[in-house]
Structure 1
């Protein structure tokens, strides 16, 4: 299937690893000119070296919790490419975890700043260019946690639910301008974020990394019918479709890539 992405200008936050990196590779292979944004220069350059085997990759270092840095990133990208057609916002953190009654305001604010407000900042920065060209795709990476929350991750869950609401609102605001906004909600994907979770679990339980994964699936994610972690490439494939010409009648939707983890309709 021709996704119609040749020559499109794509921006991917969190593009140095996990879902963001897998998406950058796939879009580059489809002929898009891809910019990956992340906070750490060393990680960006390592990812870019690998991704350039697939196509044109540009890197921009930026802290998405800082509005000035997001604006500076936009200016660099517009200066190089002239416009932006696609935004995939995949950056995020697990954030503060634990008993709700013990979480401080500061822990809440940190998670909100990185997971929700960074999404707001990047959308605010790049949607304008898409409106000017009359063609755009925005894909916000949410989570199964937005629909099926877990008490030990309440700040993260709340932010991911807010991202779904943000995607729906933006879809209603800008579809008339040719900018189609959608969300993707993965569950338990093999990324550095879940690697860190499983490393912590393996130490707590005194078991191997793989045993930690198996016990987590049994005890915490029993509705993942495929009984494994998802692959970043499996999420990237859905995102690539939503970036494409083939998704021209898809707007304001949430695509769950969760192995069946969300137990309800």
Structure 2
């Protein structure tokens, strides 16, 4: 299927692994020029090498989304390398501070919100003029936690709910200018972030990694009817669709890629 994005230019944050990396791969396969960004320059360079893109179609620039100065530097580097972008895919994020509410201090909240909520806001502000050019796409990676919060990671839940609300409002502001804004909300995907969560769980319970995954699914995510973690490409395929001409009537939506994890409509 021709998605109609050949020749478009995309910026994918959180692009050094997982969902962001797979999204960059799929956009490249569809003929887009892609810039990937993440916080670790070395990991980012390695990720770019693994993508093995045609010459001139892939660029990378490290940036910390907590820093307004680094986001502005990212914007300048992107414009120098490829010009204005048509697509922004915001995948960068962290689980952040964990524990029950009374166990998380102010720094835990501030750090999580700075990455998971203010990061998308600042990136959007930096590139909004590019995306208002008559054809634009923004896709934010949110989470099942945005609509089904869990009591041991409330800063992350609140941040993702904030992104969902931000995206909905933004989708009303610029649709008449051709900019479509949507969200994709995955649940328990096979990424470095959930690997770290399961390694911690395995240590705490004194079990193997696989046993930690199995117990997490049965005890914490009982509505994931497929009984497994999702794969990054299963999320990236939905993101790529939302970046395309095929999604030309989709705006202000949340697409859940969660095996049924969210238990309500």
TM-score by length of 1: 0.98
Structure 1, residues 177-234: CA drift from partner, whole Å, max 9, x if none?
1010000000000000000000001111111111110000000000000000000000
Map of 2:115 onto structure 1: 114
Matched, 1:202 2:223: no
TM-fit CA distance, 1:52? 2.2
* 2:155 match: secondary structure: helix
TM-fit CA distance, 1:72? 1.0
Separation (CA, whole Å) in 1 of partners of 2:136 and 2:237: 18
Matched, 1:50 2:50: yes
Q: Does the CA-based 8 Å contact 1:25-1:54 persist in structure 2?
A: no
Q: Name stretches of at least 5 consecutive residues in structure 1 with no aligned partner.
A: none
Q: Does the CA-based 8 Å contact 2:59-2:81 persist in structure 1?
A: no
Map of 1:243 onto structure 2: 243
* 1:61 match: secondary structure: coil
Residues 1:233 and 1:54: Cα distance change in structure 2 (over 3 Å):
farther
Q: Name stretches of at least 5 consecutive residues in structure 2 with no aligned partner.
A: none
Map of 1:174 onto structure 2: 174
Map of 1:9 onto structure 2: 9
- The total of aligned residue pairs comes to 264
Q: Does the CA-based 8 Å contact 1:139-1:239 persist in structure 2?
A: yes
TM-fit CA distance, 1:102? 2.0
Map of 1:36 onto structure 2: 36
Map of 2:162 onto structure 1: 162
Matched, 1:212 2:225: no
CA RMSD for the aligned pairs? 0.9
TM-fit CA distance, 1:53? 4.2
TM-score by length of 2: 0.98
TM-fit CA distance, 1:61? 0.9
| More moved, 122-131 vs 46-55 | 46-55
Segments of 4+ in structure 1 off by > 3 A? none
Separation (CA, whole Å) in 2 of partners of 1:161 and 1:246: 27
Q: Does the CA-based 8 Å contact 1:37-1:59 persist in structure 2?
A: yes
